[in-house]
Chain A
Amino acid sequence: MADTVVEPKVETELGIPWNVVVHNDPVNLMTYVTLVIQRVFGYSKEKAQDHMLEIHHRGRSIVWTGPRERAEFYVQQLHGHLLLATLEKTS
């Protein structure tokens, strides 16, 4: 009788990093977006501004990458500041 092999698919999927993406919104002030990114992620002002400018010019910026549960937490924080944010699996 052959042994049954359980593929660790769930563990593998849980290990896939997720991106936290902030999307452009014409209402949110650039200074406000910078402040929120600094506050939520603990980034320097310069790094937060770089992300803000990417959001402004390209429509979106991947501001953080890591485990899904943490990504969900960050997206919730960003929504709490009324930023448009989503989480997505890394490609």
Chain B
Amino acid sequence: MLIFRSKKDLIEFAEVDFVEAEFLRQIPGLCDSSGDPKVEERFYSDPADPSETQLLNDWAEFVKPDLRHLFASARKLVENDLQKLTQTELAHLSVPLKHGDAWLNTLNQARLNLATRYEFTDMELSSVEIPKLTSRRDLALHQINFYAAIQERIIDALNG
């Protein structure tokens, strides 16, 4: 798969093979933080020390819903973009550059969700070894790294 910024201010995903296309399509679904308290806690971490009870209460009431909406909006935009992923043997997808932030956000949601659910250690996440694919957990680490590579390319594209 190649990811680059085109002259038309598009982020191009080119020569996307079957497995990569499937990984891309899975991104929005991997962002669901509900049902896992650890993931919820990571997505909506406390903004201050527990002694700041009023601040924490206000945060839960006013800020958390805004964050939830923000994350959902980013996911929806990516989901809509992915509808245009071609069904050819080597697929192609063009994403407007202005969608880059939403893609970064959604990819981060997916990576954090996977990392938290499977409780990967710092060492596992920073390992340069290609993970063996003998379990769902192994596949999750592979996806975390794959989505990280996409984030890096999108950041390059946004930085021009």
Q: Chain A residues in contact with chain B, CB under 8 A?
A: 26-29, 31-32, 35, 72, 75-76, 79-82, 84-88
Q: Would you call B46 and A80 a contact (CB within 8 A)?
A: no
A79/B47 in contact, CB under 8 A: yes
Verify B122–A26 contact, CB threshold 8 A. Answer: yes
Complex contact B47–A32 (CB within 8 A): no
Partner of A80, one of B49, B70, B144: B70
The answer to whether B46 touches A27, judged by C-beta atoms less than 8 angstroms apart, is: no
List residues of B (122-160) whose CB comes within 8 Å of A's CBs: 122, 125-126, 144, 148, 151-152, 155, 158-159
A84 to B152, CA, bound (A): 20
Chain B interface size range: 20 to 34
| A7→B2 CA distance, assembly (Å) | 65
Q: A79-B63, A80-B70 are in contact. Are A29 and B47 (CB under 8 A)?
A: no
Chain B residues lying within 8 Å of A75, measured Cβ to Cβ, are 47
Main secondary structure of the interface of A (DSSP, over half): mixed
On B, residues with C-beta under 8 Å from A are 43-49, 55, 63, 66-67, 70, 104-105, 108-109, 111-112, 115, 122, 125-126, 144, 148, 151-152, 155, 158-159
Q: Which residues of A contact B48 (CB under 8 A)?
A: 86-88
A-B contact count (CB 8 A): 59
Closest to B155 in A: A31
CB distance A82 to B112 under 8 Å?
yes
Q: How far is the CB of A41 from chain B (nearest CB, A)?
A: 16
A contact residues around B55 at 8 Å (CB)? 72, 87
A88 touches B49 (CB 8 A): yes
The answer to whether B155 and A27 touch across the interface, beta carbons within 8 angstroms, is: no
Query: Are A82 and B151 within 8 A (Cβ)?
Result: no
Decide: B46 and A32 in contact? CB cutoff 8 A.
no
Docked complex Cα distance between A32 and B148 (Å): 10
**Most B-side CB within 10 Å, residue of A27, A86, A87, A88:** A27
